[in-house]
Structure 1
Amino acid sequence: MPQPSFGVDQFGDVVPDIFGERPSPRPRKASRLSAEALLDGLNPPQREAVLHEGAPVLVVAGAGSGKTRVLTRRIAYLVGERKVHPGSVLAITFTNKAAAEMRSRVIELVGNRAKLMWVSTFHSACVRILRSDIGRFGMARNFSIYDDADAKRLMQLVANDLELDPKRFPVRVIMNWVSNCKNELVDHETARARVSEGSLEQSYAEAYGEYQRRLAAADALDFDDLIMTAVHLLQAFPDLREQYRRRFRHVLVDEYQDTNHAQYALIRELCSAEIDTPPEVVSLSRGGQGGSSPPQVHAEPPELMVVGDSDQSIYAFRGATIRNINDFESDFPGARTIMLEQNYRSTQTILSAANAVIVQNAGRKPKNLWSDAGDGDLVVGYVADTEHDEAQFVAGEVDRLSDAGEARYGDTAVFYRTNAQSRAFEEVFIRVGLPYKVVGGVRFYERREVRDAIAYLRAISNRADDVSVRRILNVPKRGIGDRAEGAVADLAARERISFGEALRRVDDIHGLATRSASQLRSFVELMDAHEAMVAEGAPADAILTSVLERSGYLSELQGSADPQDQTRLENLIELVTVSREFVSGVAVLAAADYGDVDGPEDGQAPDGVDEFGVLRGGSLRVAEGRSVDPLTVALDPEQDLAAGAAEVDASLGAFLERVALVADSDQIPSPDAESAGVVTLMTLHTAKGLEFDAVFLTGCEDGVFPHQRALSDPAELAEERRLAYVGITRARKRLYVSRAVVRAAWGTPQHNPPSRFLTEIPDRLMDWRRTERAVTSWRNTSATSRSNTSWRTTVGYGAPKPQARVVPVLTAGDRVLHSTFGLGSVVATSGAGDDTKADVDFGSAGLKRLSLRHAPLEKL
């Protein structure tokens, strides 16, 4: 096909001139690199992808197979060797960062003329189209773009005006429903026609219609509108579609497996040969041409290359549909497929593990990743007793790898399925001093729902805490508006009392709507009831559980269809678990026996020692007047522990102090974090696109990973397996997989079976440092069932083995390792010889009094 001449469009870009007579462009400078140089270092399939001409092509790019190199080299080859004008190239990525990187790399290869390309995200490309042509829909070209916060505020106004019950129709649920409609290119009129009378969807559709009306009145679009409106514009005006098809002669799309239906439709409008357009389209004449131009002949479709991997399609919850990549060849007849299977990232052992897992998914394109980097280390497996034990193992192994020079902190990552799982790792890392950062979310105690719950507790504990009271006044939504809150604030300022006190004088506020006054009274009753619980000495976990239930916070999240609300619910469950661990730690203190313990008969455990070496029965005695926080206690070793009665504190105030200390530690950066790097903690979804020398894939239990909701849904289970594939293939040199036999949920133990993904990895690829059989054996064998041995597990140093029993000599300040409770610090010791006992602070596991003769304890 002859190359067109070029002109300048309304953006100032040089573009192909479809009308013929235009000034010739300036002579092209020679490309910086020769064809040989552009193809240098490419393997045969990569080279084939770069050189491909003509038919649409799908490049199936396995993890670590060099897809970015293929995309950038192809663009450079188009511009440098095939003499394609940069202004006729459209390259679409999913992030601005990826777009900037691609543009930069192409400029390095072919020079500054590459700046004429459109390299952008879907949203950015659509904005450029809309800024030029949205006037055809009667909107101003300077329309506003509403971000998520703006959109939520507007939808809240709509819901209020439609008098939608916030409990039945949470704003976020309505917004998700509307977003799904827009991703499917369903406008509000079509949505309204599809729903049944009297259904929830009818209310959603009414909100959708009013929301769009207000957007239009404000000359605004939200993010979903950008793509939907651009597609509708191209569909409604065939001449405009033809204009862009003639402009963009080469279209490249990265991460095609992550596209939703609207994004797919945009690509079809621009690139498909099968479009429903009359043979003679509307004239594309421009101003100044005079008269009308002759009818335009339908342009040949642009060359299309999409790059992606169906095995890494993990964003269905965002609207991505795997069918787009699976059905590419039928959507674009005559398309070719090129497989990139050579991996440049990982060892063969890691790739073999990934292949073994993903092959279990039905209906996928066969693909087998391979590497010439050698087999490398086996995949390390570890079965922990609890999530705390799992975190201790990870921390110990991270430290060992760093000390041995095998993996720096900055080259190490810990992956988990849900954000709530980060809490155990954060607390252990803080305690042992490992530098870390949480990516893809805020730290546990900074998460909105956690801060909301803690604000409830602080407001209950201290009614003068105006910041906390006002934070949760309308959380969850209970119909207390800004006007009512302002009236209470005015009374507080006028009477010079706290906001909390002013709430209790709602009858003194004149002009307050009856409904608002009623809601304020209900809120006060809620808070008063829980203040009474505090006065009665109720433990912290009981107060937290009660306020989350009675406030309606839990029911709102449980009834939400928003996946983010499911995550928020999991985080609140984790906070309840924290509170119950706190109270149970106090209970251990209260039940500890500080009397003499007779030695056991041979083959029997002593009555006063449990299977972990913790003494049972009796009561803890500390120096008179001392209160004991089991998680932050620092008993004076010089004091006689039997000198007075203990005041064991499981109160709300003590728990809030504990949380404040942990949250405060959360903010203290490690002094060497910048120089030595930090360990990265992140969810598996966030990990996509990244790579690390050492990866810890944690929580590998059915019900955790794969997630509970996927166990009964084959489609969701297949996506969870793809998520496992993504996690495994992030590892370059070392991969660890771990699980806990018991994991707390709502403060109660949950026994989860091993993840099916673990059983899919061949045994020949695994090095099990600790197995469930070892865990069961340890639990079923008392600490003294063998007279001269004790079982111990050293983090990172193999499976449990019988060791000659040596009673450690400990003093206050020593660091120790317990096979179940993990790392701890000795607070005080008492007794002598076989009767020696030690009080050890195990952080989140609490303060334990241990019999050194029986406890599986190692001095570090």
Structure 2
Amino acid sequence: MSASDRLVPTRRPTLRPTTLIPVEDWRPAGIEDLEPAAWQALRDTGNVAVVAGPGAGKTEFLAQRAAYLLQTGLCPWPQHILAISFKRDAAANLGRRVAARVPEHASRFASMTFDAFTKGLVDRFAPALPPDWRMSHGYDIRMAPDSEVRAFLNTVAFSAPQALARQVGFQPGRFVSDIVGGWSLPESVPTDDAVDAVSYAAREWWRARYLRPGKAEVDFVMLNRLAELLVRAVPRLRRALRMTYPIVFVDEFQDTTSAQFSFLASVFGEEAAVTTVGDSKQRIMGWAGAVPEAVQRFTSTFQATAYWLAWNFRSSDALVELQHVIASKLDPTTVRATSKATAEDGHEPAVLWTFSGGDREARFIADWIARDIAGSDRMPADFALIARQKVKDFEPLFRARLAAHGIRVRNDDARVGKITLQDLLKSDTTRLFVGLLRLAHQPRGLAALWQEVSATLERVHGAADDETAQQRVGEDLSDLTTRLRAWLQAHPPSTTSAADAVRKVLDLVDSAALRRYMKATAPGEEFDLVTGAFEARLETVLDGADDWGVVLDEFESADAVVLLTTHRSKGLEYHTVFFLGIHGRQWWALGSDPREGTSTFFVGLSRAAQRLVFTTDRSERTGPIAAFFAMLTEAGVPEVDQG
């Protein structure tokens, strides 16, 4: 079979729905209603840009729009909706939400990250790349550190033609995202050195890492550029993608890079209806190449209609007012959101606490959380400790002080194996493994978990639309959990290694089928990295445990106070947020990019639903950090010295 014969994506056929809902009769699923602007955006069948601030229910809006288009037949069978997110957990969350809203259409909703989608295209159709760009020995994914980029730029500046040498003065930290990502690959590699500095430097980068003997080295920016070249050079593939995905969603659009925008325009700029959701005030990925004014660029390029959502379902009215003060600094024209959350009485919604030192801060907050839990129905997971960076510096003190009250801390930014704990816990592979182990350990009372694991295995084995195959998967799952239960009973955690436990699960689930499924549905998620991280995490929680239930509880640490960076907190929400380290040491880079720093500040503080506590020390409040304190004063946030 030639490469061109493989260009049309082969998909397992889905069952045609027996009934459709008339457009005028359609109602939201799982929620009471949508706000007026959301209804307008939902019913618009063209290109749509939805501008939605924190707490506006962006994920829920996309899930409802998907339900509307699928249930009414506006996305006709057998076509699919493609949803692109920037974070794996966001993509998984949206996919699960659509499956819960319209399970009969879930197989026609593909939710993945931008990197996963472009990597999947390159992996599948690389032989169809123009001859100059075809790989002979495959590739490895490796992100070049700034030091390596700096050395490359020095070399290029030295070897460049005299007319260009002085122009190759690019910033190492932005070179890959801006220069490599902004260079559209020509179908033939240019050989003439009489080009501009951008094209010359980008070409030399590709020559050094990709157009070389042996295995190529690429990062996700380069994979994006290869995918864009692929669909541009092979019209048949572009037509196939548009036919398969006539409707496309893009979440967190304000973080779109120039390379990603170019790819989106090349593939879906015509004959597809694209819906973007984002908020320019939460643009915190400028350092990674996010384009300025992405929403405006989209509405212009795609001739899209913009809609502004005004309801905030997360935060109390007092916190919405605080958010508006900061939002107005980023966009003076911003309209104050309307809180739809019920405010709690009996506490200050926002306050600034000052401490004399880190130990005093950790002890005071730990005691405060313990008292609050004891006097309410709240759980540790209702509290988050958020910091701009270096959260590992906060972990030892908070872990020790909270442990004195029997409260766990989960550092979502911690490295486990070669990935972060947050990425590990959100992985579909991890959810499947933990689900199987829990079902084996506790055979009754976990109906919802059984359904989730069963649904995953149905997708792994291609049984989602085949009742006979579904029944067989259910029988296999019953047998699998029975055998795994016997193994767990014979291998108590105190005498069992993590490697043996992981090996046993892989033997039972048909790891080859699982690997194929994960490669097809989450190409950016390296199966071996996830299983390796799973084993590493399991090893740390096995020590001293005498019950598998305790091991799994500790593994997930679902009932823990979460410690994470502002970037990892994006899209999440908590009853009470402690925003740690409002001082110059945490925000040392604020002066170099005040707008992005303020956006990061805005993202962190807008995670709170009911209570927001900023913490600082007694260091100087001069320089760029003074702007934050001025905003808090303007918003009427009181300051309390806690000693």
TM-score (norm 1): 0.49
Determine the structure 2 residue equivalent to 1:132. 125
Distance 2:201 2:246 in 1: 44
After superposition, residues 50-449 of structure 1 pair within 5 angstroms as 50-54=42-46, 56-84=47-75, 85-130=77-122, 131-132=124-125, 134-138=127-131, 144-148=138-142, 177-185=175-183, 206=204, 208-214=206-212, 217-218=214-215, 221-238=218-235, 240-272=237-269, 301-333=271-303, 335-362=304-331, 366-376=334-344, 377-405=348-376, 407-419=378-390, 422-424=392-394, 426-431=396-401, 433=404, 434-442=407-415
Q: CA deviation at 1:272?
A: 2.9
Distance 1:112 1:82 in 2: 13
After superposition, residues 267-666 of structure 1 pair within 5 angstroms as 267-272=264-269, 301-333=271-303, 335-362=304-331, 366-376=334-344, 377-405=348-376, 407-419=378-390, 422-424=392-394, 426-431=396-401, 433=404, 434-442=407-415
Q: CA deviation at 1:697?
A: 0.9
Kept in 2, the 8 Å contact 1:32–1:111? The answer is no
Determine the structure 1 residue equivalent to 2:617. 740
Kept in 2, the 8 Å contact 1:356–1:760? The answer is yes
Alignment CA distance shift 1:272-1:233 (3 Å): same
Kept in 2, the 8 Å contact 1:413–1:696? The answer is yes
Determine the structure 1 residue equivalent to 2:35. 43
Alignment CA distance shift 1:113-1:345 (3 Å): closer
Per-residue Cα deviation, 1:120-147 (whole angstroms, up to 9, x for no partner): 2222222343323641423669974523
Distance 2:175 2:15 in 1: 51
Alignment CA distance shift 1:234-1:29 (3 Å): same
Q: CA deviation at 1:319?
A: 1.5
Determine the structure 2 residue equivalent to 1:30. 19
SS of the counterpart of 1:234? helix
Kept in 1, the 8 Å contact 2:590–2:625? The answer is no
SS of the counterpart of 1:213? coil
SS of the counterpart of 1:695? strand
Distance 1:430 1:191 in 2: 62
Percent of residue pairs identical: 23
Kept in 2, the 8 Å contact 1:75–1:106? The answer is yes
Kept in 2, the 8 Å contact 1:13–1:87? The answer is no
Determine the structure 1 residue equivalent to 2:605. 728
Kept in 2, the 8 Å contact 1:183–1:262? The answer is yes
SS of the counterpart of 1:251? strand
Alignment CA distance shift 1:190-1:332 (3 Å): farther
- In the alignment, residue 128 of structure 2 is paired with which amino acid? G
Per-residue Cα deviation, 1:772-804 (whole angstroms, up to 9, x for no partner): xxxxxxxxxxxxxxxxxxxxxxx5xxxxxxxxx
Alignment CA distance shift 1:694-1:12 (3 Å): same
- In the alignment, residue 329 of structure 1 is paired with which amino acid? T
Kept in 1, the 8 Å contact 2:84–2:91? The answer is yes
Determine the structure 2 residue equivalent to 1:768. 639
Q: CA deviation at 1:396?
A: 3.1
Per-residue Cα deviation, 1:622-681 (whole angstroms, up to 9, x for no partner): xxxxxxxxxxxxxxxxxxxxxxxxxxxxxxxxxxxxxxxxxx99x999999688932222
Alignment CA distance shift 1:332-1:428 (3 Å): closer
Determine the structure 2 residue equivalent to 1:688. 570
Per-residue Cα deviation, 1:297-344 (whole angstroms, up to 9, x for no partner): xxxx321110111111111112212321243322233x2111112111
Structure that is richer in helix per residue: 2
Distance 1:737 1:688 in 2: 17
SS of the counterpart of 1:123? helix
Per-residue Cα deviation, 1:704-755 (whole angstroms, up to 9, x for no partner): 45x33332x4xx2111111111111101111101211138xxxxxx988964
Distance 1:668 1:193 in 2: 67
SS of the counterpart of 1:414? strand
- In the alignment, residue 48 of structure 2 is paired with which amino acid? V
- In the alignment, residue 441 of structure 1 is paired with which amino acid? A
Alignment CA distance shift 1:385-1:175 (3 Å): closer
Alignment CA distance shift 1:133-1:186 (3 Å): closer
Q: CA deviation at 1:205?
A: 6.7
Kept in 2, the 8 Å contact 1:386–1:742? The answer is no
Match of residue 627, structure 2, among 747, 753, 756: 756
Distance 1:397 1:190 in 2: 66
Distance 2:562 2:190 in 1: 46
CA RMSD of aligned residues (A): 4.4
Distance 2:59 2:69 in 1: 15
SS of the counterpart of 1:30? coil
Kept in 2, the 8 Å contact 1:145–1:223? The answer is no
Any stretches of 5+ residues in structure 2 without a counterpart?
Answer: 1-5, 159-170, 421-539
- In the alignment, residue 408 of structure 2 is paired with which amino acid? P
- In the alignment, residue 9 of structure 2 is paired with which amino acid? F
Alignment CA distance shift 1:104-1:679 (3 Å): closer
Kept in 1, the 8 Å contact 2:398–2:409? The answer is no
Distance 1:62 1:428 in 2: 31
Distance 2:244 2:286 in 1: 32
Kept in 2, the 8 Å contact 1:401–1:408? The answer is no
Kept in 2, the 8 Å contact 1:416–1:422? The answer is no
SS of the counterpart of 1:681? strand
Larger Cα-atom Rg:
1
**Mean Cα deviation higher: 721-730 or 433-442:** 433-442
TM-score (norm 2): 0.64
Q: Does 1:710 align with 2:581?
A: no
Kept in 2, the 8 Å contact 1:87–1:118? The answer is no
Alignment CA distance shift 1:409-1:116 (3 Å): closer
SS of the counterpart of 1:181? helix
Distance 1:42 1:99 in 2: 22
**Alignment length, in residue pairs?**
482
Alignment CA distance shift 1:405-1:145 (3 Å): farther
Distance 2:588 2:202 in 1: 28
- In the alignment, residue 340 of structure 1 is paired with which amino acid? L
- Greater RCO structure (CA 8 Å; 6+ sep): 2
Kept in 1, the 8 Å contact 2:399–2:408? The answer is yes
Distance 2:172 2:595 in 1: 28
Per-residue Cα deviation, 1:436-493 (whole angstroms, up to 9, x for no partner): 12222349xx99xxxxxxxxxxxxxxxxxxxxxxxxxxxxxxxxxxxxxxxxxxxxxx
Q: Does 1:719 align with 2:596?
A: yes
Kept in 2, the 8 Å contact 1:79–1:86? The answer is no
Q: CA deviation at 1:416?
A: 1.4
Distance 1:303 1:412 in 2: 39
- In the alignment, residue 575 of structure 2 is paired with which amino acid? D
Kept in 1, the 8 Å contact 2:382–2:574? The answer is yes
Distance 1:326 1:704 in 2: 35
Distance 1:132 1:203 in 2: 27
